[in-house]
Each structure stands twice: as structure tokens, then as C-alpha cells.
A and B are shown apart, each in its own frame.
Chain A
Amino acid sequence: MKPNIQKKIFDYLLKNKIQNFNGVPDSTLKYFIEQGLKKNKVLITTREEEAIGISVGMALTQSSTVVFMQNAGFANSISTITSLVQLYEIPLIFLIGWRGYLKNDAPEHEKIGKIQPKLIEILGLDSKIITEKNWKISCNWALDKIQNQKSCALIVKRDFVD
């Protein structure tokens, strides 16, 4: 996804009352995170589970939060999602970079990239793939979800190889 769209997505979420952006960096989301750091709204954590824990704490104060991560980190997070986010019904927006979307991505991303859509579905986490074309609709969809006290995920395809 182009740098300017990533920046637009950040600005749009911020404008729409997302107060916190916590997570572990992902190169797929590089420009989104860069924009957040510039605006001093990003907290980088040591692991994805930690980011979710902090975000849950913020949500308990009725503060809206995005958690960002790569899909490898999403795999780390599964127990935290089931036994914290879903158990206590905490509304969060997950923003997840999809490594392994391209078949020629690095080998460590191949398996998780393949099972990711099913994994999210089995978890019962509503998700949308956010693109350069639908980004505003997708953001509105996610904002609406947390407004209605539901968690959801926005997935960003890794559409380049470095």
C-alpha cells in the first residue's frame, strides 16, 4: 500500500477519535506507523500480546484503540484474543500486515500467510482487507464495529517483496 494512503488512514482514524495506536512494527505498515510516531500517538511494545494487554487497559477507560502487528505477531496473540479480548468483550481494532500473501515472500511467512484467513475466521473475528481503493469504507466499518462494542481486524496485504 502506497505511503500516502497509509498516512491518510492514520490521519483518518485519529480524526475519528482513535486515541491510541499500540503495537509491534511491521514493514508492511511502515508509513502508517511513521505518521503515528510523528504525531506522538504510537506506543511500541516488546510483543504483540503486551500491546493487546495495554490496549485492553485503555479500552477499559473508554478510550478507543488500534493494535497493529504483522501476522506472525497475530499468531502470537491468539490466546490473548480468546482469553482476554473476546472473554471480556473488549472493543479493539486490529491492524494486521499480511506477510505470505505473495507466494514469493520470504519462507518464514509462507505457512502463516496461507492459514491466516482461516485462522481469523475460526477465531470469530470480523475482518476486512483494507486497500488503496476501499480504505475509507473499511475504516468506517471498523469504527462502527468498536462503536458497537465489537472487536474487528483490518488486513493489509503485503504486495511487494524486498
Chain B
Amino acid sequence: MSKGILLIRKEAIKIIAEKISNNPIVSANGYLSRDLYEVCDKPSNFYMIGSMGLSSSIGLGIAMMNPKKRIFIFDGDGNILMNLGSLITIGSVMPKNLIHVVFDNSSHESTGGQPTHTSKIHLEKIAKASNYIVFKTSTKTGIEKIIKKIKTLHGPIMILVKVSKSKTQSKRVEIPPKKIRQRFMKSLTRS
């Protein structure tokens, strides 16, 4: 881990979202979807604004039915902790095209910054035990190297990005949910 100042989540999201062009992204609720919407809005982003914890499950469903596309899940530590069973199911199904990015700030930022337990428990160990290939980083160059490296690897892959809490907050996703769904579905039908 780097000893310098950590990236904030929004910066880390921007680096990855821009690098992966039009690959579908399912993003977790809370500030994470807001950040993605603000830095890199695309029709191929599915902003999950409700249903706490389920972005990885939605991503799994898409990945299973759409094996030709690489599906990215942008998850938070609070979110995945609410649905840890998802790691078990993903690790059993073994979707080659699933990339699970967890932006971990060890806090529930959108509800007031209360701590999560990822500062005490190693998520990467749970993911490894669940058949994921796991990468961990906290820097821009680290993220860039991993994104390049995973191009030739089969999933499920987890990229654990340690980030810091941010001082500012992004705006709400302004697109109505039905519209988010419609444009996302349309983007999936494009090759």
C-alpha cells in the first residue's frame, strides 16, 4: 500500500470508467453512483439507486446472459458487506467476464461516514476464498496497470481500490430510473 495520500473515490472511478470505454457498468447505490454519473455518464452505466447491496448480483445476472461482454461492477465496501453471499454465488458460477471493482473507504459515506468493518477484515481474503482473482491497489498507476493486466485474464476478478473519504459530494443521478433501464438495455444490444 502507498504511504501517500489516497485517491478519493471519484478520482478512482474516473480513471477506470474512462479506461474501459463502453463496457457495461453496474454501480452501487449511495455516493458511488452519483460520482460515476458526475465524472463519466454513459448509457452503458446502470445506476442502481435503491436496493442496497445488490449491484454485484445484478452484474452477475447480466454477465451470465451476456458472455461476450465484460461486465464491470462498481461496488462499495458498505454495499458488498450487505450482500457477502454474492461472492459465494459469483465464485460458484465463475463468470469469466465479470470484473468486480470495490472502492473501499471503510465507511458508509452517504449516511454520515459511519465506519464499516473493512479496516479490520480483509475483503481480499474472502474474495480469494470465493474463487476470485484479486488485485489490490490505492494509486492511479496501480489502477492503470491492473486494468491493462486483466485484459488477458478470465474472471471472476476483484479489484480492491482503497480510497479515502471525500470532502465534497456529487449531485444526484438526474435520469429517471425507467430511462436508466431503457438506455442501458439498448447499449447491451450493441456489439
CB neighbours of A59 from chain B (8 A): 61
Residue pair A84, B181 in contact (C-beta under 8 Å): no
Which residue of the partner chain A has the closest CB to B58?
A57
B interface size (C-beta, 8 A): 34
Residue pair A53, B185 in contact (C-beta under 8 Å): no
Bound CA span A49–B26, Å? 16
Which residue of the partner chain A has the closest CB to B86?
A50
Picked from A50, A60, A84, A90, the residue with its CB within 8 Å of the CB of B62 is A60
Most B C-beta atoms less than 10 A away, residue of A47, A51, A61, A90: A61
Which residues of chain B from 44 to 74 have any CB-CB distance to chain A below 8 Å in the complex?
A: 46, 48-66
Given contacts A60-B184, A88-B180, A88-B181, contact A47 B85 (CB under 8 A): yes
Residue pair A61, B62 in contact (C-beta under 8 Å): yes
- The binding surface of chain B is classed by DSSP as helix
Bound CA span A60–B187, Å? 11
Instruction: Answer yes or no: A152 CB below 8 A from chain B CBs.
Output: no
Q: Compute the total of residue contacts between A and B using a CB distance below 8 Å.
A: 104
- The binding surface of chain A is classed by DSSP as helix
Chain B nearest CB from A25 CB (Å) reads 14
Residue pair B88, A49 in contact (C-beta under 8 Å): no
Residue pair A56, B58 in contact (C-beta under 8 Å): yes
Which residue of the partner chain B has the closest CB to A82?
B50
Picked from A57, A58, A61, the residue with its CB within 8 Å of the CB of B26 is A57
Instruction: Answer yes or no: A5 CB below 8 A from chain B CBs.
Output: no
Bound CA span A119–B178, Å? 24
Instruction: Answer yes or no: A89 CB below 8 A from chain B CBs.
Output: yes
A-B contact pairs, 12 of them (CB 8 A): A45-B89, A47-B83, A49-B51, A49-B83, A50-B83, A50-B85, A53-B51, A60-B184, A61-B66, A84-B50, A87-B50, A89-B178
